[in-house]
Amino acid sequence: MIDVKFCVNILLRNMDNSNNNNKKKMISRKVVGVKSFMVMDVMARAEQLEKEGKDIIHLEVGEPDFETPAVVREAAIEAIRSGKTHYTHAMGLLELREEICAMYHREYGVSVTPDRVLVTSGTSPAMLLMMLALLEPDDEVIVSNPHYACYPNFIEAVGGRLAEVRTLPDDGFRYRPEQIRAALTPKTKAILINSPSNPTGVVMSRKNLEEIAAFGGQFILSDEIYHGLVYEGKAHSILEFTDRAFVINGFSKLYAMTGWRLGYLIFPKEFSGVMERLHQNFAISANSFVQAAGIAALRSAGPDIERMQSTYNERRVYMIRRLRELGFTIHVEPTGAFYVFADARHFCADSYREAFNILETVRVGVTPGIDFGSGGEGFLRFSYANSLDNIKEGLNRIEAYLREK
């Protein structure tokens, strides 16, 4: 006798496979390989648990828990009231670009002109336009492993290739010059750096940057989005050491403006025309009233920044001490951004699974180290962009979790 239910299941499975194959044929090969941003997977599950009434402590998210400074909010409101709601120049408001140039001169002693600054709706569009302007198919970009999770997707989306350098925990996952030298090929177009770093919070020294700038034949792509969030010493811009560089920066982290989507790109002068044309075509301009808010942030939010920095530092010191008490290894103490990249390899072989186990068991969100590349496996990233009370409670729950392992 024919098992009708079995036959129906086989038919449905074949239909699903056929549909999946058809979808793959329809979707561009450039985007089929775009990997999930794992921290967002954790956040999505955490939000689902919260909807079910569960109390979640968020130590996974890289987003300031502070309100945007009042002076910034008021500037945006005034801009809307006064009718500043139309397109701006494709490169951004000249007044804002001048303020960015003034800030880089004040902080780093470098001279940048407004025609080398493109204002964008967040740093991600700036990064995509930079890759479009710079990379030919199969051009290589040297990137450390571990690294910010989304870098490979930007590079590969425009046809470039990732040339990973496996950096070491005892170096704070910073490049060694000999590692870069070994990765160079005739196809190498750029070296990508990130300081202060996500996920490690480590700040590159003047010597680190001088050594990388000395390679000379390639462009340096410097992600400086966490500049200003430094608690010991000083962050240096790559522009202090070479003009053959692109700098990504913005307002999300330092000014607690993640939802405002305001970033910018500083680039070599010869790219001015193409960057303007790309932005004209793909985005027209960043929001006008948000740009007005950016001007206010650069001019007037200094006292708010100092208050946030002081609070972050208090949390940083506590989190480092407490994680070590819990048995985590921190190879190089983070002195920037708002992350601690903790070595959990003594109990964690699969950081993605471990992050979800922690979330489901003790209701604490953490980011799996594998999100940042194979070199991050066995590590967990903890964010101190949350209140000290929540951090204490979250780490107490982690202690209970580890006690049961």
pLDDT one-digit tens code per residue, 36-79: 789 999 999 999 999 999 999 999 999 999 999 999 999 999 99
List, for residues 96-123, the tens digit of each pLDDT value. Answer: 999 999 999 999 999 999 999 999 999 9
pLDDT, position 1: 42
CA-CA distance, 313 to 179, in Å (whole number)? 32
Q: Which domains does the chain have, with CATH numbers?
A: 38-62+303-404 (3.90.1150.10), 70-300 (3.40.640.10)
pLDDT exceeds cutoff 50 at 10: no
List, for residues 366-379, the tens digit of each pLDDT value. Answer: 999 999 999 999 99
Q: What is the pTM of this model?
A: 0.91
DSSP 316-351: HHHHHHHHHHTT-B-SS---BTTEEEEE-TTT-S-H
pLDDT, position 6: 41
What integer is the mean pLDDT of 8-20?
53
Cα separations in angstroms, 220 against 25, 78, 132, 248: 36, 38, 15, 11
Select from 331, 334, 325 the least CA-distant residue to 383: 334
Select from 63, 71, 68, 85 the least CA-distant residue to 291: 85
What integer is the mean pLDDT of 81-102?
98
CA 240 to centroid of chain Cα atoms: 22
pLDDT exceeds cutoff 70 at 296: yes
What integer is the mean pLDDT of 287-312?
98
CA-CA distance, 302 to 69, in Å (whole number)? 10
Select from 338, 328, 316, 323 the least CA-distant residue to 396: 323
Rounded mean pLDDT of the chain? 94
What integer is the mean pLDDT of 139-145?
98
pLDDT exceeds cutoff 70 at 18: no
Classify strands 245-250 and 263-266 as parallel, antiparallel or unpaired.
antiparallel
With H, G, I as helix, E, B as strand and everything else as coil, classify residue 368.
Answer: strand
Cα separations in angstroms, 316 against 202, 222, 310: 12, 24, 10
The kind and range of the H/E element at 118 are strand 117-120
